[in-house]
Amino acid sequence: MEPNKVYSNLQKYRSIAGVDEAGRGPLAGPVVAAAVIIHPEGTIPGVQDSKKLTPVQREELYQIITSRAVSWGVGIVGPRQIERDNILQATLRAMKEAVLLLNPLPDFLLIDGISPIPIDIPQRCVKKGDSLCFTISAASILAKVTRDRLMMKYHGIYPQYNFANHKGYATKEHREAIRRYGCCEIHRRTFNGVKEYISG
Amino acid sequence: MGGNKRGLGGRGEDLAVSYLQKRGYKVIERNYRCRLGEIDLIALDGGVLAFVEIKTRTSFTFGIPQESVHRLKQRKLFQVAKAYMAERHVRESITARFDVVAIRITPSGPNIELIKDAFQLE
């Protein structure tokens, strides 16, 4: 349209944070949220929806984003809490934790999706925000990389599930491993595909 | 929500949505409204943000559907699109365009035509 124009009527806000989450759908592992403030002048080439990047690209961009961000934070909510509340509440809690780690606190939030965060900061939810908004894309990369790294660690502890490969998502391989070995400490026992295999 | 209650336009929109989804469009908003006006459909086609106007007709009595997006309407759509992009803080590097879905309801079924990048504002 006008490629060099910034489409923003949010100029009255001095620091805008993008917020996104990774790991809402998997059968195992935590849900991870990230919040990031990037200097308005500081765009980073290649930053786009984390799902459209390769793992190597994401790692590289993670380094660049975390080194250039004004501030960034990550919130992690584990399987027990996901079971106690529900995945939406757990996700919102992770997002809130991520935002509260920011220093300075942002005066406006752009959040991926449709659910506002219960926090006293003006905010707007953006559907497909991970594709549309630069700061949300950056947050999506931080969340995804952080979660993938955690799942690699869990792979070392519970190698029979091969978390390194599917990161806890409900792939055929993962479903078969659950059928064979039952569930482990990091499985979400309230999720379909897991709860059927809880013994006792 | 049934198509009947919303009349011809609503039924046309339902048809357009499933048509576009089959072609890989990811629908973000239906009937986006702001104080400047309305856009029938906003979607992502690959990495491109598409603002879609849906035109439904049962005959060609008043001209072919895409002709009814006249100049004034085009300018209005452009204003609404800019407002949407501003409100959502859409990244400056994104490519946006205007598509028209022209639907003609005939006795033998609907006839759907998609015109990508249907008009540009100079």
**Nearest-by-CA chain B residue for A131:** B47
For residue B80, tell me if it sits in a domain. yes
For residue A7, tell me if it sits in a domain. no
Domain count, chain A: 1
With vertex at residue A71, the alpha carbon angle to CA A68 and CA A74, rounded to the nearest 5 degrees, is: 110
Domain count, chain B: 1
Please provide residue A75's backbone torsions phi and psi, each rounded to the nearest 5 degrees: -115, 135
With a cut of 70, which residues of chain A have pLDDT below it? Answer: 1-9, 200
For residue B47, tell me if it sits in a domain. yes
Q: Do A1 and B90 count as a contact with CB atoms less than 8 A apart?
A: no
CATH of the domain at B104: 3.40.1350.10
pLDDT given for residue A49 in this prediction: 83
pLDDT given for residue B68 in this prediction: 65
- pLDDT by residue for chain B (122 residues), tens only, comes to 444 456 777 788 999 999 999 999 999 999 999 989 999 999 999 989 999 999 887 766 556 666 667 888 889 999 999 999 998 989 888 999 999 999 988 888 888 999 999 888 65
For residue A194, tell me if it sits in a domain. no
Among B85, B89, B97, B119, most A C-beta atoms within 10 A, so best to mutate, is B89
For residue A2, tell me if it sits in a domain. no
Please provide residue B54's backbone torsions phi and psi, each rounded to the nearest 5 degrees: -110, 125
CATH of the domain at A95: 3.30.420.10
Q: Do A7 and B95 count as a contact with CB atoms less than 8 A apart?
A: no
For residue A174, tell me if it sits in a domain. no
Q: Which value does ipTM take for this structure?
A: 0.77
Please provide residue A14's backbone torsions phi and psi, each rounded to the nearest 5 degrees: -85, -35
**What is the model's pTM?**
0.87
For residue A59, tell me if it sits in a domain. yes
Give the residue numbers in B contacting A (CB under 8 Å), as ranges: 26, 28-29, 44, 47, 49, 81-83, 85-97
Spatial neighbors of A73 by CB under 8 A, at least 6 apart, are A34, A35, A36, A97, A98, A99, A100, A101, A102
Spatial neighbors of B102 by CB under 8 A, at least 6 apart, are B55, B57, B64, B65, B66, B112, B113, B114, B115
Q: Which domain holds residue A39?
A: 16-152
pLDDT given for residue A4 in this prediction: 34
- Dist. CA A95–CA A129, nearest whole Å: 15
Q: Which domain holds residue B22?
A: 7-115
pLDDT given for residue A9 in this prediction: 66
